[in-house]
């Protein structure tokens, strides 16, 4: 039965009011505060396994995008179902393991769109957990089709409405995270980073291994008084601090504040979800 436009608007407004309490919100924190971390177990807390591709590729952007996009859909349009965006097409049809630039991956989302994990499931090679382990897997073949034959590739596509850079000033980066959620950063990987376990990382020894792009999700100050960024890596949870790491903030350590990019996904073609809370961003 076709509904009139006025009734549709009324039902949508009612639905928004019913789920407004489930919206992600930052509790008792300002940009100037010392500590903030976005906590969203099913989204922000995802640590992927990309052990053999891209960690030595110069500024490879493709690994940290899809969970950023996933969270931003929740943050920007909390009344819709969470979508997991798989970056395989950007990765396979882009520069692959040979590197690239983060902003180009976000522009790909704007111009070409990406499909959901339901259409093109995330693949995760087993047995390789950190840089230097073998074997190294080749970039997969680029195939623009859904795994399930009853799904149409074009119908599963979602787009970003923009792609932009954030100024290198730490306060600008913190303001962006506070307002719009995680961002992507690129930095230079040195040999000692591969052996990081805990604490606030600062490069001390070892040569350059390549460039890397990761997900910046928050900041804080350690008990020793060191300002740091909190980031999620893609070398599985067996690496670092359960897959995460902290790096010194405000000193452009390893170029971490030089190349900061993000995007904001469109809310078109999203599936309404009125079933419950989507999480909270808290201190």
Q: Mean pLDDT, the chain, as a whole number? A: 67
Give me the half-sphere count of Cα atoms (radius 13 Å) on the Cβ side of residue 192. 10
For residues 211-239, average pLDDT: 91
Q: pLDDT tens across 38-83, in order?
A: 544 444 545 555 544 443 222 333 334 444 444 454 444 333 334 4
Mean pLDDT along residues 136-150: 67
The neighbour count for residue 55, using CB atoms within 10 Å, is 24
DSSP 248: E
Using a pLDDT cut of 90, give the percent of the chain over it.
Answer: 29
Q: What phi and psi, each to the nearest 5 degrees, are found at residue 5?
A: -60, -40
Which domains are delineated in the chain?
23-265 (3.90.70.10)
Q: CB atoms < 10 A from the CB of 111, how many?
A: 10
What pLDDT does 118 receive?
A: 72
Per-residue model confidence (pLDDT) at position 265: 76
Per-residue buried b or exposed e for 119-158, using 16+ beta carbons within 10 Å of the residue's own CB: bbeeeeeeebebbeeeeeeebeeeeeebeeeeeeeeebbb
């Amino acid at each position: 039965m076709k509904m009139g436009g006025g009734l549709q608007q009324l039902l949508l407004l009612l639905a928004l009011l019913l789920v407004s309490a489930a919206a992600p919100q930052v509790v008792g924190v300002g940009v100037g505060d010392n500590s903030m971390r976005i906590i969203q177990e099913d989204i922000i807390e995802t640590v992927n396994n990309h052990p053999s591709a891209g960690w030595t590729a110069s500024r490879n952007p493709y690994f940290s995008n899809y969970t950023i996009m996933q969270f931003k859909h929740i943050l920007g349009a909390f009344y819709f179902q969470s979508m997991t965006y798989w970056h395989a097409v950007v990765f396979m049809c882009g520069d692959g393991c040979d590197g690239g630039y983060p902003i180009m991956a976000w522009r790909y989302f704007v111009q070409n769109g990406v499909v959901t994990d339901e259409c093109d499931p995330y693949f995760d090679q087993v047995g390789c957990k950190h840089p230097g382990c073998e074997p190294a897997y080749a970039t997969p073949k680029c195939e623009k089709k859904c795994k399930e034959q009853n799904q149409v590739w074009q119908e599963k596509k979602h787009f970003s409405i923009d792609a932009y850079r954030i100024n290198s000033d730490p306060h600008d980066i913190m303001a962006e995270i506070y307002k719009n959620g995680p961002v992507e950063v690129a930095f230079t990987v040195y040999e000692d980073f591969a052996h990081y376990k805990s604490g606030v990382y600062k490069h001390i020894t070892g040569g350059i291994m390549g460039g890397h792009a990761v997900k910046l999700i928050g900041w804080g100050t350690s008990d020793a008084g060191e300002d740091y960024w909190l980031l999620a890596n893609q070398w599985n949870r067996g690496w670092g601090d359960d897959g995460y790491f902290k790096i010194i903030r405000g000193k452009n350590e390893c170029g971490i504040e030089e190349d900061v990019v993000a995007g904001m996904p469109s809310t078109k073609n999203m599936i309404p979800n009125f079933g419950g809370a989507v999480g909270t961003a808290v201190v």
